[in-house]
A = this chain, B = another copy of it.
Amino acid sequence: MTDWQEITGGVTAPRGYQAAGIRAGLKPSGLPDLALILSNVEAIAAGVFTTSQVKAACVDYCRQRLLSKQSARAILCNAGQANAATGSQGWLDALESAMILGQELNIPSESVLLASTGVIGQRIVMDKLKAGIPQLVAALSETGSDAAAEAIVTTDLVTKSIALETMIGDRPVRIGGIAKGSGMIHPNMATLLAFVTCDAAVSPTLWQQMLSRAADRSFNSITVDGDTSTNDSLIALANGQSRTPALTEMGADAEKLEAMLTAVCQHLAKAIARDGEGATCLMEVQVTGASNEQLATQVAKTIAGSSLVKAAIFGRDPNWGRIAAAAGRAGVPFEQESLKIQLGHFLLMENGQPLTFDRATASAYLKQAADSAMPQGMVATDMSNDLSGNRSQIKTQRLDNPVIITVSIGNGNASGKAWGCDLSYDYVKINAEYTT
């Protein structure tokens, strides 16, 4: 199932896509703030959006568009203003944005999907957006993915991008993705956004099913601070330009495609967790022995989201008691006599009872895993955080050496994973001090 390879190119790696990112002046910092992804032909479109009752205009807009038509040509994303809690005027701004871009691209505005990230309660600065759109369209390029990835970030320390390729029959199929997000929601600078492109031919229903499952195993399995944004959006296009046979139901090829889609989403999701506000390391929680995957994931997410576990990891403290307590309160029934907990390769608890282990060595494991996970050349305090998403330096990050917590809760066959990060002073600093 993992017979794919990583390639370059992000969302423009699959055939038939262009992208662009420009400075339209929406962010007070003057950094890139307007991004566009374009498929050369109408592409099957699927989406997963925030479950919050308080939603941005772009989320309502995309939901309605995808209900009436499961395809699109373009995704337009602005950073700087979230266009959430902006009432009917915000809705009109969304409609106008799509219309202007449609005119500039000479496509129906119904083929435009929208995403916004930035300050809640602020409308998009429409005159700057309008002035920027011709420039944005002019900048479209088959190598424009990185520019787009940079234009969608706000408080992120790094851009998030990936592309994978596999063979279906004798033809290559590619999936690329870019994402942004640094807290589930950030101060007023909200949001997890992820855009995925694919050149396979796949039916709308199957593509949406695949995307929903992939989201559950990736973006819905990460937690930074337990908060959800008004603007969270995952949009995936599939334009058929690989010229592979159309997939309409699950089967060997569809499974291959879904596995690769899941891998793309997991990479982006882990990159977001690693870039969590104030985080110094990535945490991966693996839960086995559950009766089904959903319950396993629920336990894994509860552990990954526990403030006490997160603070312990920041303190490089092999505190199995907090892991056991978090597992216990996950709302998933299990026998506490079955509980087994491992930190890296250290067995800390078995049959529900603590084991003797070398605390210093286990702490050293945490220290090593965490330290090597630090982006090279970057320290956790190496960041300037302002409302406008002012990041002068976009750095790279390593995801290959997370802190691994393994928990078994019984004899079931199902397993699940979740990802998170540690809880540091900087999380409090970033979220307590940004305006006062």
Name A residues whose Cβ lies closer than 8 Å to a Cβ of B.
50-55, 85-87, 119-121, 183, 185, 187-188, 190, 225-230, 305-308, 311-312, 314-317, 319-322, 324-330, 332-337, 339, 349, 351-354, 359, 363, 423-425, 427-429, 431-436
Contacts and interface: CB of A to CB of B under 8 A. Distances in A.
Contact of A352 (B85, B119, B337): B85
A53 B322 contact: no
Contacts of A119: 321
A354 B85 contact: yes
Number of copies: 2
B228 A328 contact: yes
A317 B308 CA distance: 25
Given A86-B353, A188-B319, A321-B188, A226 B306 contact: yes
A335 to B, nearest CB: 8
Contacts of A432: 311-312, 314-315, 317, 423-424
B327 A54 contact: yes
Contacts of A339: 54
A185 B322 CA distance: 8
A121 B353 contact: yes
Nearest to A324: B54
A328 B54 contact: yes
Most chain-B Cβ atoms within 10 A of its Cβ — which of A119, A315, A339? A315
B121 A325 contact: no
Contacts of A353: 85-87, 121
A85 to B, nearest CB: 6
Given A55-B336, A308-B185, A436-B315, A352 B229 contact: no
Contacts of A85: 321, 324, 336, 349, 352-354
